Amino acid sequence: MVAMLRRQGGSLHQCDSADSGYTWSEPRAVTASYEYPGDVIRLQDGRLLLTFGHREPPHGVQGMLSRDEGRTWDGDRRLFLVGDATYDCGYPKSVQRDDGTIVTVYYSENLPSGPEDWTGWQTRKRRIAVHAAALHYRPEDLP
């Protein structure tokens, strides 16, 4: 079992369990600061897909793959899934459909409507609304 934990400072740390969750490993860093929260699924080809909110410019959703049960994550070939959100974004959830298509849903507190909206969550001058979207992509499109 693999669990992603949000640590203070806003990064994801991973714990692993080999005994169905009775005991867990010590947390180890997987993402940098302001890269949270995360979601992990097993793809039909056996790889693990981690998606997470990227709360530094460009704000949005990114991902990483593991080919070894989560022991390592390919941080050199990150997935850039969304880059047009605001600071308060993410909470992605992913599923792989029977036809192989991967669907990742996420939210952004609001969409930027001007340059001042890109400065962070403190700026609320041009609030539009909550934005939610779904991405559809195929495993063969991943590195």
CATH number, domain with residue 111: 2.120.10.10
Of the candidates 49, 113, 110, the one whose C-alpha atom is nearest the C-alpha of residue 81 is 49
User: Phi, psi (5° rounding) for residue 10?
Assistant: 80, 45
pLDDT (tens digit, 9 = 90+) per residue, 73-123?
Answer: 999 999 999 998 888 888 999 999 999 999 999 998 876 555 554 455 555
- The whole domain housing 122 covers 2-141
The pLDDT value given to residue 90: 87
- Alpha-carbon torsion 40, 38, 81, 137, what sign? positive
Question: For 65-70, what is the mean pLDDT?
Answer: 97
CA 92 to chain CA centroid, nearest Å:
6
pLDDT confidence bin for 124, thresholds 50/70/90: low
pLDDT for 25-55, tens place per residue?
A: 999 999 999 999 999 999 999 999 999 999 9
- In this prediction, residue 85 carries a pLDDT of 85
Report pLDDT for 78: 95
Sign of CA dihedral 84, 63, 75, 14: positive
The answer to whether the peptide bond before residue 139 is cis (omega within 30 degrees of 0) is: no
Cα separation, 10 vs 8, whole angstroms = 5
DSSP lists the bridge partners of residue 50 as: 40, 64
Total domain count, the chain: 1
* pTM as predicted: 0.87
pLDDT band at 70 (very low <50, low <70, confident <90, very high): very high
